[in-house]
Amino acid sequence: MDPILELRGVTKHYEGFSLRDVSFSLPRGYVCGLIGPNGAGKTTIVKLILGLARVSAGQLRVCGDDPATAEIAVKDRIGFVHEVPTFYDHISVEALASIVRPFYTRWDQPLFDALAREFELPMRTWFGSLSRGTRTKAALALALAHHAELLVLDEPTSGLDPVFRRELLDRLAAYVSDGLASVLFSTHITSDLGRMADYITFIRDGRLVFSSTREEVFARWVVVRGDPGVLDEATRPLFTGVEIGAHAFTGLTDDAPRARTHMAGQDIVIEPATLDDIMCYTGRTC
């Protein structure tokens, strides 16, 4: 498959935080959910893709090009929505679009107008007086109006009401349906991804935990619950994270068949892990 986004051993050092050796790719026509707790490195990856920060080591390719050397060509093909869409507060959405428009070679004004109508954007209202949700809608309209091949969304749904969250997810699903565009969706609200993400990439403490198709993730990762007495030196290494309560333990493993084999006959319950389970229990030790 033709990857629209490819990271190989990407490393970025900041003072007090490093993103280390991250590798994953996103084929055309798919949605990738980038998940991880706050401070895991999701926004750093988004910034590297958008050229807002420089890669310390490794290779990053967007649409086959290196953003460092083909900056304009790459950014022309990316649509972005930052976590808190910030533009100049005293500019109307209409004026903002007129400023952004000339930068893009494939800007589609009728499409922007249609999106503005669909999202019910108040075109003459100052950006600063728009609600958080309306700002995100405006940013999304700007991102979609130039036929971006890769949409990069950094926590776009945090702070949004469930109605617009649903609308946004439907819109993104429709956007990739022609198989030409892809979406990288960074979020810590994992319920957003359950329905729409084709790939899940999990970052924790600046390191890649996994990057797989959604089906693989849900097939491999399970949560095991049971009496703490069944945990011993043989069974503990099965888990990538364990939480032990007064009466029961919860363990997370990415090797469901092995867990089933090793713990067969024990007083345990094995359930498919949710993305929340994976985020919560990975690396947890008691």
Partner 1 sequence: MLRNALRKDLLLNARHLWGILPWFVWVAYAMSEPDAGRITAVGAGFIGSLMATTIAAREDKLRTSATLASLPVRRRTLVQARYVVACVVGTATYLVVAAMAAVLPWSVQRAAELFEVKTLLLTVTLASMVIALLMPLVIRFGLLGVVVFLGAFQVLGVVLFVAADFFAARSGVRHVFGAVERGIVSLHAGLGQPGPIVETAVIVGISTWLSFRLSVFLAERRDL
Q: Which residues bind partner 1 (CB under 8 A)?
A: 14, 47, 50-54, 71-76, 78, 80, 82, 84-91, 95, 98-100, 102-105
In degrees, to the nearest 5, what angle opens at C-alpha 97 toward C-alphas 96 and 103?
105
Give the nearest distance from C-beta 69 to partner 1 in angstroms: 11
| Of 71 and 227, CB closest to partner 1 | 71
| Of 88 and 227, CB closest to partner 1 | 88
| Of 156 and 241, CB closest to partner 1 | 156
Q: How far is CA 11 from the centre of its chain?
A: 18
Give the nearest distance from C-beta 71 to partner 1 in angstroms: 6
Give the nearest distance from C-beta 203 to partner 1 in angstroms: 18
Give the nearest distance from C-beta 101 to partner 1 in angstroms: 9
Give the nearest distance from C-beta 39 to partner 1 in angstroms: 16
Give the nearest distance from C-beta 124 to partner 1 in angstroms: 15
| Of 146 and 165, CB closest to partner 1 | 146
| Of 88 and 257, CB closest to partner 1 | 88
254-262 contact pairs (CB < 8 A, 24+): 254/210, 254/220, 254/221, 255/220, 256/219, 256/220, 256/221, 256/222, 259/222, 259/224, 262/234, 262/235, 262/238
| Of 55 and 242, CB closest to partner 1 | 55
What does the longest C-alpha to C-alpha distance in the chain come to?
A: 67
Give the nearest distance from C-beta 273 to partner 1 in angstroms: 34
| Of 70 and 270, CB closest to partner 1 | 70
Give the nearest distance from C-beta 144 to partner 1 in angstroms: 15
Residues paired with residue 225 on neighbouring β-strands, in sequence order: 250, 269
